[in-house]
């Protein structure tokens, strides 16, 4: 499992290069967004995406006069903006209220098996799996549901799994004012299962460990708990 993205030294590709489809270039821990990403409101984005997806379906040869297909461009546009990519918009970032650690609980807290659905930014097909998140309190605690919401927020955007893992870890550090954070993600990638190599059995694992979780004993305790039934 990798704690952070690996920088790949990849040769430049020409437009006709047959290997171009399989080269996945990493960027950074931040989702690549233009500075004008939110100048259009959601309604305008939906209208424009609907128009373009209508054209895609037309190019594919589909009959958009058919009752089953006529509403698809609009449905896809709304799904993109309001649902599966809603995590792109910072206004949807969850507000995590902190509480005093009145119990003086000084052991790790683990929220495991958080189900998430995301989309691969290379092919726009689903990534889905489980996230496991842990932290040591620095004097404050967070509502358990807010951990789930943080995972969902960063999942709902075009992603690579390494970046998703780092984003969740850094957000937990920011919110809880502590470096003692661990994140492990096990995921299925439909870009591997439903196309390309067509491997339906493999999974991808990534991890983010900071603070106390860099200690081998604490890391092992966390991973043992994650792997327990």
Express each pLDDT in 175-206 by its tens digit: 999 999 999 999 999 877 666 666 666 788 99
Q: Report how far Cα 42 is from the mean position of its chain's Cα atoms.
A: 21
Domain membership of residue 72 as a residue range? 37-84
Complete edge-to-edge strand list for the sheet that includes strand 181-189: 158-159, 109-120, 126-135, 181-189, 204-209
215 and 159 in a common domain: yes
Confidence of residue 7 (pLDDT cuts 50, 70, 90): very low
75 and 147 in a common domain: no
Is-catalytic flag, 122? Answer: yes
DSSP 121-145: TTT--EEEEEEEEEE--SSEEE-HH
What value does the mean pLDDT take over residues 202-224? 95
Domain-located, residue 20: no
153 and 104 in a common domain: yes
Is-catalytic flag, 24? Answer: no
What value does the mean pLDDT take over residues 124-147? 96
Domain-located, residue 6: no
Catalytic residue among 111, 161, 162, 171: 161
Catalytic residue among 120, 159, 162, 167: 120
183 and 76 in a common domain: no
C-alpha torsion sign, points 178, 88, 163, 108: positive
* 127 in Cβ contact with 161 (< 8 Å): yes
Catalytic residue among 3, 121, 173, 221: 121
**pLDDT for res 27:** 55
Q: Provide the number of structural domains found in the chain.
A: 2
120 and 177 in a common domain: yes
Q: Please tell me the pTM assigned to this model.
A: 0.85
Domain-located, residue 4: no
193 and 102 in a common domain: yes
Neighbours of 72 (CB within 10 A): 16
């Amino acid at each position: 499992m990798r704690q952070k993205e690996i920088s790949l030294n990849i040769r430049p590709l020409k437009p006709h290069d047959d290997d171009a489809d399989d080269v996945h270039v990493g960027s950074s821990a931040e989702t690549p967004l233009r500075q004008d990403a939110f100048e259009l409101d959601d309604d305008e984005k939906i209208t424009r995406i609907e128009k373009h997806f209508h054209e895609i379906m037309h190019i594919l040869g589909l009959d958009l006069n058919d009752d089953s297909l006529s509403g698809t461009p609009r449905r896809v546009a709304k799904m993109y903006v309001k649902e599966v990519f809603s995590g792109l918009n910072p206004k949807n970032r969850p507000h995590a209220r902190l509480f005093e650690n009145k119990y003086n609980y000084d052991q790790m807290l683990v929220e495991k098996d958080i189900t998430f659905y995301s989309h691969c930014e290379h092919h726009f097909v689903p990534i889905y799996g489980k996230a496991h998140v842990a932290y040591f309190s620095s004097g404050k605690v967070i509502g358990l549901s807010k951990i789930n919401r943080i995972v969902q927020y960063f999942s709902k955007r075009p992603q690579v799994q390494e970046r998703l893992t780092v984003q969740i870890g850094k957000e937990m550090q920011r919110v809880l004012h502590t470096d003692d954070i661990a994140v492990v993600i096990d995921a299925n990638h439909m870009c591997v299962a439903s196309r390309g190599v067509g491997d339906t059995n493999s999974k991808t694992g990534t991890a983010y460990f900071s603070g106390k979780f860099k200690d081998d004993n604490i890391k092992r305790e966390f991973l043992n708990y994650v792997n327990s039934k």
